[in-house]
Structures are given as C-alpha cells and as structure tokens.
Amino acid sequence: MGGLSPLKYRGTPAQAQARLEATLKTFPEAQVVHRETLAMQVIFTTPAGFRDQVDFQIDPAAESIDFRSRSLFGLFDFGKNRSRMQDFAQRFRSPV
C-alpha cells in the first residue's frame, strides 16, 4: 500500500509548525516528544495503550510537510496509522 501525500502549506516554516501544533491539539491522544525548527516527533497512544510514532519534517523549498507513521508495537495495526493520518491531513487542510 502506498504512502500518503505530503501536507502542503503556504507561508513560513514557523507558520507550518504552528499549524501542525494546532492540528495536533485536536488529537487528545497525541504528545509531542521532540521538536526542532523543521521537525517534530509525536507519539499517539490508543485507548488500548498501543503507541504509534509520527515523524514530521518540514520542507521549506517545497512548502510541504513529509511525515512517516509507524506502530511501536507489533507488526500490524489494522490500518489505524493510515486512517489517523488521513484524518490528520483533512484537519490540517481545514481552517483551524
């Protein structure tokens, strides 16, 4: 199964990061564990206690945010990471 498209943004990298953080606040299960100028690492914890890691990387030249999501436990997540990131992308594109 192919990956999801990068998140597109307009503006500065700082504005993109602020938008990422605003979108993350709509996910109570998300916790930012590492933050840099152009990168962010987030852990999502499911109600069952499973943890998924998402790494975001801002690409200023392309005005896009690449991301990678992976389960920190087990070999299969029944599509949870993909569906969460599709939801995340939709919320990111919507006015916050």
The 10 Å CB-count burial string (b at 16+, else e) for 54-86 is bebebeeeebbbbbebebeeeeebeeebeebbe
- Average pLDDT, whole number, for the chain? 88
Write out the two tokens for 53. 């890691």
For residue 78, the model assigns a pLDDT of 60
For residue 36, the model assigns a pLDDT of 93
* pLDDT surpasses 90 at 74: no
Domain extents in the chain: 7-93
- Contact residues for 13 (Cβ-Cβ < 8 A; gap 6+): 37, 38, 58, 60
7-93 homologous superfamily? Kinase associated domain 1, KA1 (3.30.310.80)
Average pLDDT over residues 8-17: 95
Residues 84-96 pLDDT 10s: 888 999 999 986 5
| Higher-confidence position of 44 and 83 | 44
